Every structure is written in C-alpha cells, then in structure tokens.
A and B are shown apart, each in its own frame.
Chain A
C-alpha cells in the first residue's frame, strides 16, 4: 500500500513539475521570440521617426510619446483618488461592515474586463463629458481601471506599518492629520510608488479600452490639445497585425512589441525593486 502511495505521490509531483517547466518555457519562448523578432526592426530611426506608409516604414516615435502621455495622464488621475480612498479606508472608516463592502467592491472592480472599462469610458468620458476620442479620455479610462490595483497596494503598505509608530506619534501629541502626514504617508510611500508603477505597467499594455476611445491609427504625430487623440504602442501593434500580409509591417509590429515589453518590464522591475528596497520592517 505504502508503495503505491509513494508512486502516486511521485507521479503527482512529476506532473506539477512538468507543468511548471512548461509554463516557464512558454513564457521564456514568448519573451525570446519578441526579442529576436523585434531586434531586427529596431534601430535609431525606428525609435525616433514617425510611422510612414501605414506603419510599413518609418518608426514609432509618436506611438512611444502617445503611450507615455496617456500613461502619465492615467497616473495623474488615479494617484490622488487611490491615495485618498486608501487613507480614508484605513484611517477614517471604522465601521467593519462598510469596510468589508468597500473592500469587496475594490476586488470586484479589479476583475472587470478592460473592454468594459472602454465601453464605460466611451459613454461617460467620450460622450457624456464630451471629451471625444482623445488621449484625455484614454487617460481617464486607464486611470479608472488601475485605481483598484493602486488602492490595494497602498492599503497593504499602510496596514503593514507597525502600530507602535502611529502610537509613538500620537503619544507625542500629534493630531490625526499630523500622524497621517508624518507617519502613515512617509512609511507607506513604497506602496504608493509600487502600486502606481504596477498599475501603469498594466495600463501601458492595454489595447481594448482605448482603441475606440483614445487612439487613431495614424494622422497624428503629437497631441496638441486635451481633446486630440493619440497613437499608442499597443494599438499600433494591433493595427500592424491587421496588415499581416505585408512582411515589413509584421516586422515593425514585433519591434513595437519589444519596445512596449521593455517599457512595461522596466516599470515592473522598478516597482519590485522599490517594494524590496524600502520595506523598513
């Protein structure tokens, strides 16, 4: 009996080990493929020139700029809201049931498919607020989408601040706001930055919510007003793949993917580094 159990266990362990190897290999294969295929498209011109001939020629500078603009806009919108919500929930909301409900809402919001945010944005930001198809609408949509991620990260950081620091502050006579300003915020700053970067990394790679609310394929170099649309890296990849019959277009799609991957990867790595480096306890 013991023998068969051991065998079963061995089989089980081998199976999950195989899954693990398989999972990692797929990931590595994708990354390698993007790097290998992408590198052949990338040169200085690709990074600094605008697209030409429907993306078959030229570069992706306006897509890089567009992605950065839209992501910065998302950051400016989501950060104050997330910070305010996290502080309100941890410092002022004491009713356990309301706390629970709002926590559940945040987790649910995190699970909403991004296309739904796009649809919401189309109705609310594009039409109702009259922003039109514009980078501002895209920033607001992506910002809305990543708010839960940022809130959760900030709340985790705030909740892991040892109680003794708050109490030492209170015992010195600091008011509630002073404790927030000189204990809670500084000691959860790593969570703020990490959450923001993780959220933005996700926002930078999204296509669905912005392709019909914020971006156009071409015809725009840099936005010159709040209501201008932009072109972005992920939507550029999408449009280029539609033209897959032209081999040069496909090469450029890989190149764009590599740039996007690098951007997102950088943000994630910085986020992880900050989380690791600034954990004080």
Chain B
C-alpha cells in the first residue's frame, strides 16, 4: 500500500558520461504531491539526476546508466511507453527560462498544438487557465500576441511554468528555477511552487539552502554524485546526521570532492 503513494522511485541508479561516473548508487522516493528539494555543490550531479528522470540524456551518445527508475509503477528505461509520453508527464523547467522566438500565446499553445491534446477552439481557455495558475495572466492578458522575449526574465520563467502546465504533467522538475531571477520574481516563483503542490509532484534543484528550507518537504543533499543524506525537511535541517551535511548547511561547502 505504501509503495502506491510513491510516484517516482530511483533505485540503485548509476550514470556515466563516457568514463566519468557522475551518479553513484542513487536511491530516491518521491511522494505524490510533495516537493523534493535537491541541494548540493556545483557539479555534484543535480541537473544530471533530473535529466535521467525524463530521459533527456538519452540523446548523448556517451551516456550510460545502470539501475532502475520507476515512474507510476513502470521502469522508464524498460517500458514500452514512448519516451515522449514520459516527458509529457514529467515536465521540466530549465535554469535559464527558455521561451521560443514566438509570441506569448504561441509559446503557450506550443505543447497543446503539437500533442493534439484538445481541439483548437479549446486552446484559449486552456491557455488562460495555465497562465492564471502561474500568476501571469493579469500581466500578459493584453499582450498575448507580443514576442515572448519582451517579458522580463522572471515573467519568462513563469511563462515556462505555465507552458509546462498546459500539457498536464504529473511531475514538474525545476533546475535552479530562480537562480537567474531577482528577489521579487524569486518570491513569486516560490509561492507558485508551493501552490502547484496540490496539482503536481515537484522536484526543485537549488543552490540556495534558504530556498530549500522555504519550499521543500523532503530534502536530498548530493555531493560528488552520491546522496550524502536525505530526509524530511525539519529533521534534515535541525538534526542532520552526517558531518558533511552539517558543514554544507552552515557554509554551503562540501569536502567530498
């Protein structure tokens, strides 16, 4: 019964790029409608974990893996489900907001149009709903046909989140979603992340320990490709078990490399 609540499980997972072993014996479990915060120093493998979860590394010919990733009860690397169906269900937001050189509206319907999730007449309603969920609607409702590049970077990141929401993912992964943003946009996105928890399961990579404290339910600390420690947020921050974790929480520094 307990396993039913885990939407994603990573079991003894290892990953390599050529000869370099970048993920080592990773074990993770994500509860549905929770926020998992991944922290760790630069180069520790945070981005790589995410890109394994939606198989975005597959196109890299040097990429090799070992172990299992179970999504919704199925091994994502073994299943017959086409990889694009997996990616539709596990959305991803990048560190630098990636809007297409199109209008705001054109960006919003990009997924809808290509995945044929609904009739064209239903697009405007779906776009409005997703923009509202991302708290962007009021700011853009009068300029939907302007180039998306005219938005501020913070707005662009919310547009990316709204765009990801249009295809109804069950998990959304965000790779340092606020590192390119100002404090005001950061606060807006953090609020948004907390609200999204009702709809989706989230994984948020962050360099910022305070951010992890504010938003995560479950915290995973990785260093040099290994999970050093993970646990429920309060437990993790108030009572860390490992010396490295204590050191990292205090100084954002890790000796493990």
Contact = CB atoms under 8 A, between A and B. Distances in A.
A175 B195 CA distance: 30
Interface residues of B, number: 25
B96 A172 contact: no
Interface string B84-99: 1101110110101010
A172 B87 contact: yes
A170 interface: yes
A164 B115 contact: no
Given A165-B98, A165-B100, A168-B94, A174 B56 contact: no
B164 A172 contact: yes
B54 interface: yes
9 closest residue pairs by CB, A with B: A173-B88, A172-B111, A171-B92, A168-B98, A175-B84, A164-B98, A173-B87, A178-B114, A280-B101
Given A173-B88, A174-B115, A182 B56 contact: no
A171 B87 contact: yes
A1 B115 CA distance: 73
A175 B110 contact: no
Interface in A170-188: 170-176, 178, 181-183, 187
A172 B56 contact: no
A94 B59 CA distance: 9
Contacts of A183: 100
Nearest to A281: B101
B167 interface: yes
Given A173-B88, A174-B115, A182-B114, A168 B100 contact: yes
Interface of B: 54, 56, 61, 82, 84-85, 87-89, 91-92, 94, 96, 98, 100-101, 110-111, 113-115, 160, 163-164, 167
Contacts of A159: none
B37 to A, nearest CB: 20
A234 B115 CA distance: 50
Contacts of B164: 171-172
A167 interface: yes
Contacts of A96: 61
Nearest to B100: A165
A175 B111 CA distance: 11
